[in-house]
Amino acid sequence: MKKSVPAFRETSAEPRTESLPFSHLSLEVGHLYMEDFVEGPDRLRRHFDTVRPWLDAVRNEVGAHLADARPRVSTCFLIDDYFSRLSTPDELLPPLVDAAAEAGVTIDYLARESGCAIAPGTAGTVIRPAESVLRRLVESPPPGSGGYRPPVGRTGWLSNGQRTPVQRSSAALDTAGAAWQPPSETGARGHSVFLDIELWSETEGERTWSCAFLASVWQLVRLGLLRDAGRAVLTPDPWNGGQFPEDWDALPPVLRLNPRAAPFTAYVTCSVLPRRFLPVEHAVRVVLDQVHVEEEPLRQVAERSEAEGFPVPAGVADRTSYVFPFGL
């Protein structure tokens, strides 16, 4: 009888999961389109004047959950340089930072939305966070579903339930009882709120990620749950206080403007956004509910937050919260 030879694998072959520093809260103080900046400094001042009272309220709420410690809160601002680039960083960013300061709002970290699609990696490589998250999607099949439903990786559409069944032949339309059936939300309470999300569009082989999907990547980055071969993704670069570059691609994906800022990544997030983002963020929560996050980052966050007396919800989507103020 031939003996089986045990298999050995060097521990160095296992990718090490990089550990990150964490704030209690990552507080997003804005996410504006290029078109918003074109309206001028008054538009930016109105934004931060409206946002500021809500920032204080959110900070106080987090502090109420910490009996013996002052909450670590970092702020961030996301600029849409992915869908349009109507101006340059050296022209656009100084008025933004000045408007925030005039309203008493500190922007600790400045981020580019395009970094959620493609960003510099190590040793001259590039990383593609959105593609990484796409590969981690695990669709939740609705109970009893068995109909034709192509995978999200092929269609680019992700839903939170059962779509309306497709009649695939003219004969089916003539079949008695082949009535229309409504879509249904998985786990609905009484009535469904069905959502079907477009993750990307494609023209001549060129893929454009949707705002909802890039916002999902953005949340995972802020929560410190996204890794590339064990390495943290979109870690902040310090800013030396000089002039901003003329090209967006010359600007790091995440920039630390405040050298005394609390860590960029956090146990939970809150985003204070214009109301037009409400349907986008609904889509984000659906995506986050169907992303398979690596076990080690989840374990790190769970153990460290628990040790601080600030345990996080088990569901990733439940670690995010929002404020949509009137007037934004």
Say if CB 73 and CB 62 are below 8 A apart. Answer: yes
Say if CB 47 and CB 98 are below 8 A apart. Answer: no
Grade residue 117 by pLDDT with cuts at 50, 70 and 90.
very high
Q: What's the domain count of the chain?
A: 1
The tokens describing 15, both together, are: 């990718």
pTM: 0.89
pLDDT at 67: 74
pLDDT in tens, 185-241: 888 888 988 999 999 999 888 899 999 999 999 999 999 999 988 899 999 999 988
pLDDT at 143: 60
Q: For residue 150, tell me if it sits in a domain.
A: no
Q: For residue 46, tell me if it sits in a domain.
A: yes
What does the alpha-carbon distance between residue 164 and residue 311 come to, in Å, rounded to a whole number?
39
Q: Which domain holds residue 246?
A: 19-135+212-278+293-323
Q: Between 288 and 328, whose confidence is greater?
A: 288
pLDDT in tens, 3-51: 444 444 444 455 688 999 999 999 999 998 888 888 888 999 999 999 9
pLDDT in tens, 307-322: 999 999 999 999 999 9
Count other Cβ atoms within 10 Å, centred on residue 143.
Answer: 10
Residue 307 three-state SS: helix
Average confidence (pLDDT) over 91-119: 95
Q: For residue 143, tell me if it sits in a domain.
A: no
pLDDT at 320: 98
What does the alpha-carbon distance between residue 96 and residue 90 come to, in Å, rounded to a whole number?
11
What does the alpha-carbon distance between residue 166 and residue 141 come to, in Å, rounded to a whole number?
16
The tokens describing 169, both together, are: 């032949």
Q: For residue 42, tell me if it sits in a domain.
A: yes
What does the alpha-carbon distance between residue 216 and residue 280 come to, in Å, rounded to a whole number?
9
Q: For residue 1, tell me if it sits in a domain.
A: no
pLDDT in tens, 122-181: 778 899 999 999 999 987 666 655 555 678 888 899 988 888 876 555 555 555 556 788
Q: For residue 155, tell me if it sits in a domain.
A: no
Q: For residue 234, tell me if it sits in a domain.
A: yes
